[in-house]
């Protein structure tokens, strides 16, 4: 049974993802932020980490870099709903979902997914990253 860690600051998003993955037969755990996620991975390594990009303190891109460094075998899926880090840093047409996900990918994410997505899309994404990994 594949071990999956979900990292998102929104409890509803975490729980929804966990529910879908549990039903799909995966062993899913959750973490509310990057530090918790690293501690959790330290405790029990995960096959796949699904992480949000926009999170307080340590954002998703930084978290991906850290996970890639500490756990190179872990597959990473970045998810984002767009928006911006803070209203003061708003640059029209510059920071968009695409930009976040592109930077996540360059930081080491194996796949990116735009929020919101269907359950099917999530399962397909996980199968894809695992399939690529185990091929």
Partner 1 sequence: MVRLRTSFANYVTVWVVLLHFVLLPALFFAMGYVIRKSHEDLFVEHARTFARVLAEEFEAGVALDSPERTEDLLDLAISHGEARYAELFDRGRSIRSQLGSTGIVAPRHTDLGFAQGGDNIYFIVLPVVRSGHNAELRLGFDEQPTQDRIHLALTRMLWVLASYLTVAVGIAVILSYRLSRPIHQLRNVSRAIASGDYGQPLNVSSGIRELHELATDLEDMRRELVGVNDRLRTKVKEMEISEGQREELQKQLRHRQRLETVGTLASGIAHEINNVLVPIILFTDTVLKDLTLSSASRADLERVLAAARRAKDVVKKILTFSRELDEAKLALIDLRGVVTEGLNLFAALAPSSIEIRTEIDAAIPLVKADATLALHLVINLCSNAYQAMEGAEGVLTVGLRYQERASEGAITQLCVEFWVSDTGHGMDPGTLERIFEPFFTTRSVGQGTGLGLSVVHGIVESFGASIAVETQIGVGTTFRIFFPTTAQAGIRSDTDVPVA
81 touches partner 1 by CB under 8 A: yes
Pick from 3, 27, 62, 97: which binds partner 1 (CB under 8 A)? Answer: 97
Of 10, 40, 65, 128, the one binding partner 1 (CB under 8 A) is: 10
Q: Write the CA distances from 4 to 51, 62, 83, 125, integer angstroms.
A: 11, 19, 26, 12
Nearest CA to 100 out of 86, 115, 80 is that of 80
C-alpha 62, offset from chain centre: 12
Minimum distance from CB of 47 to partner 1 (Å)? 20
Binding mask 36-75 toward partner 1 (x if CB under 8 A, else -) reads ------------------x---------------------
CB of 15 to partner 1, least distance (A): 7
Among 35, 44, 98, 127, indicate the residue that binds partner 1 (CB under 8 A).
98
Nearer to partner 1, 58 or 99 (CB): 99
């Amino acid at each position: 049974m594949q071990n999956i860690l979900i990292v998102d600051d929104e409890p509803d998003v975490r729980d929804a993802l966990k529910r879908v993955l549990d039903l799909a037969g995966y062993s899913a755990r959750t973490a509310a932020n990057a530090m918790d996620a690293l501690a959790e991975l330290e405790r029990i390594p995960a096959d796949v980490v699904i992480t949000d990009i926009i999170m307080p303190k340590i954002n998703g891109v930084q978290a991906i870099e850290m996970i890639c460094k500490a756990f190179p075998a872990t597959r990473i899926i970045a998810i984002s709903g767009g928006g911006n880090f803070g209203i003061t840093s708003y640059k029209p047409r510059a920071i968009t979902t695409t930009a976040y996900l592109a930077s996540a990918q360059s930081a080491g994410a194996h796949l990116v997914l735009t929020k919101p997505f269907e359950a099917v899309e999530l399962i397909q994404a996980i199968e894809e990253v695992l399939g690529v990994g185990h091929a």
